[in-house]
Amino acid sequence: MTLHHERPLRSTISIRKGDQVRIIAGRDAGKSGRVLSVNAKKNTVVVEHAQIIKRHTRPNPGKNIKGGIVEKEGAINVSNVMVVCPSCNKHTRVGHNLLPDGTKVRACRRCGTTLDK
Ligand SMILES: [Zn+2]
């Protein structure tokens, strides 16, 4: 007899790289931008021009790195961002639509527009 206690390691993040998202909580609440990367393990996303962190770097002439302060986007927890629907232009929860051929696609919960191309 086999027990099925372990849940399959599948990402529950409904945000994909390239999505337009709006930040709803945290320091940059209200800002929106494009998702640059998604970290499914840490449940974080990196959004362009948001959560800017200043990194103080030491000059490294061997690698052609100049010293100083580098501004870089930091990771934001996925629960603090929401996908912006390109159709109704509002941040929305993501639902799923089933296409006639059986494919699951992400969809806007407000207007039903498919978010995946
Ligand atoms: Zn919509």
Phi, psi values for residue 7, rounded to 5°: -85, 140
User: pLDDT of 33-90, one tens digit each?
Assistant: 999 999 999 999 999 999 999 988 888 888 888 889 989 999 999 999 999 999 999 9
User: pLDDT of 16-38, one tens digit each?
Assistant: 999 999 999 999 999 999 999 99
Q: How far is the CA of 95 from the centre of ligand 1 (A)?
A: 11
Q: How far is the CA of 115 from the centre of ligand 1 (A)?
A: 9
Domains of the chain: 20-84 (2.30.30.30), 87-117 (no CATH)
Q: Is the pLDDT of residue 5 over 80?
A: no
For the chain, counts of helices (H) and of strands (E) = 0, 10
- Residue 16: closest CA among 83, 112, 85, 73: 83
Q: Which token pair is 33?
A: 């931008």
Q: How far is the CA of 89 from the centre of ligand 1 (A)?
A: 6
The per-residue pLDDT for 107 is: 95
Q: How far is the CA of 87 from the centre of ligand 1 (A)?
A: 5
Q: Is the pLDDT of residue 117 over 80?
A: no
Taking residue 7's Cβ as centre, other Cβ atoms within 10 Å add up to: 7
